[in-house]
Amino acid sequence: MLEYDKADQGDVTVFALKGNLDALTAPALKKEIEALLSARRINVVFDLRGLELIDSSGVGAIVSLFKRVRTLQGDVKIARLTGQPYEIFKLLRLDRAFEIYDGVDTAVRRFSV
């Protein structure tokens, strides 16, 4: 099960994820992301503090968003990545592709630099 809160902070949308991002839950997140992009909300921070598990479908959803947003001149940043999701990001070397921050506020501020 995946729960998420979405909040706009200026021109940045913060998704706080809680639970599992997997084959069962990734499609709903992708649908929400499509709605964001349609509204031209192209700067996104994923707050992953509450994310307990991520599988290949979850990684695919985040990477897909990253690629689409970049073509629209936006960006995706990751905040508070820990536990199993952190290990997966490291294993796949996604920690080299994404900017990862200890806090949400820091990640949001990096959009204005």
Average pLDDT over residues 26-39: 91
pLDDT in tens, 60-104: 999 999 999 999 999 999 999 999 999 999 999 999 999 999 999
Per the listing, tokens 């998420």 go with: 4
Arithmetic mean of pLDDT over the chain: 95
Question: How large is the average pLDDT for residues 17-31?
Answer: 95
Q: Please report the sign of the dihedral spanned by the C-alpha atoms of residue 67, residue 65, residue 96, residue 84.
A: negative
Residue 112: pLDDT band with limits 50, 70, 90: confident
Q: Give the position of tokens 């947003």.
A: 69
CATH code of the domain made up of 2-112: 3.30.750.24
Task: Say what the pLDDT of residue 111 is.
Answer: 94
Rounded average pLDDT over 18-32: 94
What pLDDT score was predicted for residue 113? Answer: 66
Find out whether 85 and 53 touch, Cβ atoms under 8 Å.
yes
CA dist list (Å): 71 to 15, 63, 68 = 20, 13, 5
Query: What are the boundaries of each domain within the chain?
Result: 2-112
CB 42 within 8 Å of CB 65: no
Q: Is 108 left (phi over 0), alpha (psi -120 to 50) or beta?
A: alpha
Q: In this structure, what is the dihedral angle of CA atoms 104, 27, 30, 8, given to the nearest 10 degrees?
A: -40
